[in-house]
Structure 1
Amino acid sequence: MKLNHINLYSRDTEADRAMFERYFGLHTLVARGTTMAIMQDDDGLVLIVNRFEKKLDGFEYPRELDVLHIGFIQESREAVDALHARLTADGWEIPAAHNAHGAWCFYFRAKGGYFIEVTTSTPVHPAEAYRGHQQ
């Protein structure tokens, strides 16, 4: 089985679509005005950002970045730093990259309201590895 798509509410679908194209290499499959953008990455994962206001029923994204976010993995610390530099040079206000759980990463809030993590691979330590239900 393969994860096919992710659908996120966005306060600004046009800004988010442009951000995902410019910094993360996604390409747009469908753009429906300011209501929805359907994008795809090089591996076939589809990311949808929508602004379906009538369906929100008071929904708000959490204020804390570790509660809800999407992540983009980079091959090296240098790649994380390079993307951070591009974003900050373009005016994004982003805290400095840092070491977290053995990975080098940074988080920032997209114009749509959700958080994005850019990180290197996080090592799984043997003591933390999932081993199924143990009785």
Structure 2
Amino acid sequence: MKLNHINLYSHDTEADRAMFEQYFGLRTLVVRGIKMAIMQDNDGLVLIVNHFYNKLEGFDYPTQFDILHIGFIQKSREDVDALYQRLSADGWEVQAPCNIHGAWSFYLRAKGGYFIEVTTLTPVRPEEAYQGNAQ
């Protein structure tokens, strides 16, 4: 099974679409006014940002949208730092990179209200590795 798409509620779909293109290399497939943007990465993953709050028709989205985040893995600490520098230079409020759970990471809040994590691969310690239902 392959993860095929992620759909995030956004307060500003156009700003988020532009950010994902400029900084994360996604390409836009579909724009539906200010309500939705559908993008794709080079591996086929589809990212959708939507502003359908008034169209939920009884479906309860969490009221704390800022707990949502997506992550982008970088190959090295230098790659994380370089993206941090680009975002900072362009005026984004970006948390300074630091060591989080053994990975070099930073977070920023997208214009849509959710968070983006940029990080190196987080190492998994042997005692953390999932062993199924083994007790």
| TM-score (structure 1 length as normaliser) | 0.92
Give, in whole Å, the separation in 1 of the partners of 2:27 and 2:65: 27
Q: Is the contact made by 1:61 and 1:113 (CA closer than 8 Å) also made in structure 2? A: no
Q: Which runs of 4+ in 1 moved over 6 A?
A: none
- The one-character-per-residue Cα deviations of 1:56-94 (angstroms, maximum 9, x if unpaired) are 76743355xxx4310000000000000000001000011
- Structure 1 counterpart of 2:16, one-letter code: D
Deviation at 1:109, TM superposition (A): 0.6
Partner of 2:130: 130
| 8 Å contact from structure 1 (residues 61, 114) kept in 2 | no
Matched, 1:89 2:89: yes
SS at match of 2:72: strand
Q: Percent identity?
A: 72
SS of the aligned residue for 2:123 comes to coil
Q: 1:61 aligns with which of 56, 59, 64?
A: 64
1:1-135 paired onto structure 2 within 5 Å: 1-54=1-54, 55=56, 59-63=62-66, 67-135=67-135
Report the secondary structure of 2:11's partner residue: coil
Matched letter for residue 52 of structure 2: F
Q: How many residues align?
A: 132
Q: Which runs of 5+ in 2 are unaligned?
A: none
Ranges in structure 1 where 5+ consecutive residues have no aligned partner: none
Q: Is the 8 A contact 2:16 2:110 kept in 1?
A: yes
Rounded Cα–Cα distance in structure 2 between residues aligned with 1:4 and 1:26:
14
From the superposition, tell whether residues 38 and 89 of structure 1 become closer, same or farther in structure 2 (CA, over 3 Å): same
